[in-house]
Amino acid sequence: MTDSKYFTTTKKGEIFELKSELNSDKKEKKKEAVKKVIASMTVGKDVSALFPDVVNCMQTDNLELKKLVYLYLMNYAKSQPDMAIMAVNTFVKDCEDPNPLIRALAVRTMGCIRVDKITEYLCEPLRKCLKDEDPYVRKTAAICVAKLHDINASMVEDQGFLDQLKELLSDSNPMVVANAVASLTEINEASSSGQPLMELNAATMNKLLTALNECTEWGQVFILDALSQYSPKDEREAQSICERITPRLAHANAAVVLSAVKCLMKFMELMVGDSEFVKNLTKKLAPPLVTLLSSEPEVQYVALRNINLIVQKRPELLKHEMKVFFVKYNDPIYVKLEKLDIMIRLASEANIVQVLSELKEYATEVDVDFVRKAVRAIGRCAIKVETSAERCVSTLLDLIQTKVNYVVQEAIVVIKDIFRKYPNKYESIISTLCENLDTLDEPEARASMIWIIGEYAERIDNADELLESFLEGFHDENTQVQLQLLTAIVKLFLKRPTDTQELVQQVLSLATQDSDNPDLRDRGFIYWRLLSTDPGAAKEVVLAEKPLIAEETDLIEPTLLDELICHIASLASVYHKPPSAFVEGRTGLRRALPKQSSGDNESNSDQQQQQQQQQQQPTVIPNQDSLIPDLLNMDISAPPVVPAAQPAYTGGTLDLLSGGLDSLLGGGGADAAAAPAAGATPPVGGANTSSAGLLGDIFGMPATAGQGYSLPKQLWLPANRGKGMEITGTFSRRNGIISMDMTIHNKAMQPITNFAIQLNKNSFGITPSATLNVPAPVAPNQSVDVSLILATTGPVQRMDPLTNLQVAIKNSVDVFYFATVMPMHIFFTEDGAMEKRVFLSTWKDIPSQNEVQFNIDNVNMNADGISNKLQANNVFTIAKRNVEGQDMLYQSIKLTNGIWVLTELKLQPGNTTIVLSLKSRATDVAQGINEAFQGILHS
């Protein structure tokens, strides 16, 4: 008979009947009653009223009944903590039962009951169970320590349970070792100290490797994860560990295989790249990864996401296994797309013919999304493998001839990229592309076609007619198409000015007078001003030679890739994000691959120099670089790369909100050019002061000077990572100069000399404006304060987080790398006070979806105090109003890169929480601005 009978309702009062059955003298009837209680609890009925009666059933030798009662207790103990205390004596008694199953069950249940009062009674039984003679009890107790740590961390540390756990690493039973490792790992990740609890030395490693061969598959996963965090003292030890881990690659469980791959990938970093051992290991790694692709689709997808990371780090691993990534007709779409991505990564001159043949087949599939990605993949092949470009273009032309609408449109998008990569090589196909002009209905395809016409207007006889056909429905086009059309017609005018003057006037009029889009309007005014003041300069700007596009535009940033390699076989490797990005409140140590051995550095020095030369060539736009190991070997004496500035003019307010030209809004004539910045007219179509609402009658606030805010110094480079050199530091802005203030402590036994510093590309172009001047030598146990003046003229590259700064510092001992986050307020410039009318029209121009709100708590200042404090940090109060009893402050901020941020602060009397609303074209800066306000107002 099944257990379904327990889920049927009884006729009379259910609780009353169950109560009488639970108190029955007959054991069988009592057990049946407990089963009914558990069944009711399972379907969501409240049976907490039976708590004392169920607890009375604990006094039994029947293991099945005891399990059921314990299950009930775990569910209701939190809502009935006082009643749960009644069960403590039975728990303690069960922990000394002759039956090891009951002992383990008791300690497991006590660990699952998250009630502080019971936790106090758990310590003594847990201590005994950790030393129990039976391994089953010990392994259960090991996991219980982690559960107890989650409830009361200080108690676990005070009672010495962590030391007992470490002792279990030497246990004779492999499952006890595996559970001790799992428990220590979980405690370590939850620990706020940041110090590793598990001291991995050679002796511990040997015990873990011995246990690895005998424990269950999940035990092996925990042990392999712990092994991956060990740093071998030399290459020989790394090879020895790899030899003992390699048999795990043949395991049937995919988690064990991927965990083993993670360990091997990490230890391979410590070995000479071209050694025989690494070559053999590379051959052994490929088959298990290929085998994973024979599993069910979900496992395949996880394996493919991990393989995607592996081939970015070591493409040679699977370079001969291209065929296994060919798509099968019955693969789910998510597997197909991931396989396609890996195929492109593995594409090379050796296999490109095979890959293109496959991709051409995929382009005739029925799944539209897959077809689109396949067509794009053909374009990526052309850009990646230069020798295949002609064959790729030919394949794309064949696809265009199919006249399938979405295929044609994707093909035109990728052909535009091919033109960018190989200028003046394949332009003969433009006539074929123009034949399909009427069929294009997607914004990206239309924009790409317009770009091609504008870029090669001198080769297309009827370019003006083609562009004019797009102009007829200008206001119905997508913004992307409108912007591209504006630029293309300006290019055409600069190439053929005599017969296109009417066309360029028409598009400039549409963009500046009839459009509500501020980006389009701004670009239109820029072109109008350029063409009216200096056509020669316009030609240089608009028709400038374009840099070639990068070969791989979707590679993961190298430092992130190294971190993700350390998280293979976890959710981070599926999301391709570090755990801190999706695990709330995670404080664990950040993992990173070890530095390569010195022998490897020497053997690869020539290769590094070649890479540097390639990186310094100005013909390729690189994707996100990281703090590469040869950062300090770059030519520091070379002039810094300064981003090309937009043309500036003597009149008007230029570059407002990274592109506004409010002084031109009246028509761009000579009078507008001569008008002072303060007199900028409101935008065409913008609101006038009579309809301005709350902002219409705002009045200015006096400027006040004050002491700028500066964060206290933080630990940037600990002594254990700096080989005795410890660096603490902060950033400040004084009199318009950004400085990096550091204290260098020498905790080593010998003096340190020969300091140099290099900053990686970053979001704000921060770069040293002078060399690092450290009074040398820095003697042992001595500290030196150093201030490095910074400029914002360096190369710009978006970082994550936005103000992240990667630093390399060299001294007589070694080169050291660290990253820090710069506070946003150091980028607030002194010329950020906006004229009131400009503020009003700009606030209205920025779309409402660009407005972000934050709460700032515990601010014990009035409006004037807040205004003065912020103004001392270049947050300029434009106006102050009182609306329905609450003060409103309106402020403007200008960042060093020309981006403007407008803010509104709402203060209610008697309330210490103020509401910050901010608007900007670049919403990415919002979080940084909020943190700056929090820091300034709480300083």
Backbone angles phi, psi at 908, to 5 degrees: -105, 135
Count of C-beta atoms within a 10 Å radius of residue 747? 16
How far is the C-alpha of 435 from the C-alpha of 442, rounded, in Å?
Answer: 16
What does the alpha-carbon distance between residue 162 and residue 156 come to, in Å, rounded to a whole number? Answer: 7
* Confidence at 742, pLDDT banded by 50, 70, 90: very high
Q: How far apart are CA 392 and CA 380, in angstroms?
A: 9
Which CA distances in Å does 336 have to 331, 369, 410?
A: 6, 10, 18
- Please tell me the least confidently modeled range out of 101-110, 184-193, 337-346: 184-193
Task: Give residue-wise pLDDT tens across range 756-798.
Answer: 999 999 989 999 988 888 887 888 888 999 999 999 988 988 8
| Span 348-373, pLDDT tens digits | 888 888 888 888 888 888 888 888 88
pLDDT-wise least confident of 144-153, 184-193, 464-473, 491-500: 184-193
pLDDT at 5: 60
Rounded average pLDDT over 895-917: 89
Across residues 131-142, what is the average pLDDT? 89
Which range among 455-469, 472-486, 541-555 shows the weakest confidence by mean pLDDT? 541-555
> Which phi and psi angles does 728 have, rounded to 5°?
-115, 150
Cis bond before residue 718 (omega within 30° of 0): no
pLDDT bin (cut points 50, 70, 90) of residue 13 is low
Q: What is the DSSP letter of 794?
A: S
Per-residue pLDDT band for 469 (boundaries 50, 70, 90) equals confident
Q: What is the pTM of this model?
A: 0.58
Q: 751-771 burial, b for 16+ CB within 10 Å, e for fewer?
A: ebeebebbbbbbbbbbbbbee
Res. 105: pLDDT tops 50: yes
Q: What is the mean pLDDT of the chain?
A: 79
The stretch 21-44 carries a mean pLDDT of 80
* CA gap 458, 80 in Å, rounded: 83
Q: What is the pLDDT of residues 172-203, one digit of tens each?
A: 888 988 888 888 888 877 766 556 666 777 77
Return the DSSP state at 589.
P
Q: What is the pLDDT of residue 195?
A: 60
Rounded to an integer, the average pLDDT of 445-464 is 87
pLDDT digits (tens, 9 = 90+) for 540-589: 888 888 777 766 656 788 888 888 888 898 898 999 888 888 877 655 55
Helices 276-292 and 297-313 pack at an angle, to 10 degrees, of 160
Is-contact 299 254, C-beta < 8 A?
yes
DSSP helix/strand/coil, 651:
coil
Residue pair 453/463 in contact by the 8 Å Cβ criterion: yes
Query: What are the DSSP calls for 870-890, one per residue?
Result: HHTTT-EEEEEEEETTEEEEE
pLDDT over 80 at 660, yes or no: no
**Residue 682: band (very low, low, confident or very high) from pLDDT cuts 50, 70, 90:** very low
**Which ranges constitute the DSSP H helices of 159-253?**
161-168, 174-190, 202-212, 217-227, 235-245
Short-list 459, 449, 453, 365, CA closest to 407: 365
Residue 666 pLDDT level (bands cut at 50, 70, 90) = very low
Which has more pLDDT, 726 or 189?
726
* pLDDT tens, position by position, 162-174: 888 888 888 888 8
Summarised one tens digit per residue, pLDDT across range 384-407 is 888 888 888 888 888 888 888 888
pLDDT, residue 47, reads 79
Q: Is residue 74 exposed (0-12), middle (13-18) or buried (19+ Cβ within 10 Å)?
A: middle
* Residue 902 reports pLDDT greater than 90: yes
pLDDT at 613: 41
| pLDDT tens-digit series, residues 45-88 | 887 778 777 777 777 777 777 788 878 877 777 777 777 777 77
Categorize the per-residue pLDDT at 748 as very low, low, confident or very high, splitting at 50, 70 and 90. Answer: confident
> pLDDT, tens digit, for every residue of 609-646?
444 444 433 333 333 333 333 333 333 333 343 333 33
Return the higher-pLDDT residue of 681 and 15: 15
Give every CB contact of residue 120 below 8 A, 6+ residues apart in sequence. none
Return the pLDDT at 586.
58
> Are the C-beta atoms of 880 and 904 separated by less than 8 Å?
no
Contacts of residue 741, defined as CB under 8 A and 6 or more positions apart, other chains included, come to 710, 713, 729, 730, 731, 732, 785, 786, 787, 788
Q: What is the pLDDT of residue 406?
A: 87
Tokens of 655: 């570059």
Residue range 419-439, pLDDT digits in tens: 888 887 887 888 888 888 878
- Report, as an integer, the average pLDDT of 742-766: 89
Burial pattern 139-178, b for ≥16 Cβ within 10 A else e, equals bbbbbbbbbbbebbeebbbebebbebbeebbebebbbbbb
> Percentage of residues in the chain with pLDDT exceeding 90?
13
* Ramachandran assignment for 893, one of left (phi > 0), alpha (psi -120 to 50 degrees), beta (any other): beta
